[in-house]
Amino acid sequence: MECAKVKKPNPLLEEIRFEIVQGGTCVQILHIGAYDDEPVSFAMLDKFTRALSLIRAESCHREIYLNNANRTEKSKLKTILRYMVK
């Protein structure tokens, strides 16, 4: 991270933290499109979860962004949506 501070100074770099997240059993989907359209993908994920007789373990979810939103057309954005189940 020290290299990033030299090459691209940014006051927000001090807020970055690295941690290990215990994932456990989860379901995920690749959402392609605008962030505003994610509820459709979450509905598909919820249906899949119910079909496997699983229940959502917590209300929060994870989003993994696979594109730079500033350089990618909204309809081509790719995001992995994931939540834990039991």
C-alpha–C-alpha distance, residues 45 and 27, integer Å: 7
Q: Answer for the pair 58, 84: CB distance below 8 angstroms, yes or no.
A: yes
pTM tops 0.85, yes or no: no
Write down the pLDDT at residue 48.
97
pLDDT tens, position by position, 9-52:
888 888 888 888 777 899 999 999 999 999 999 999 999 999 99
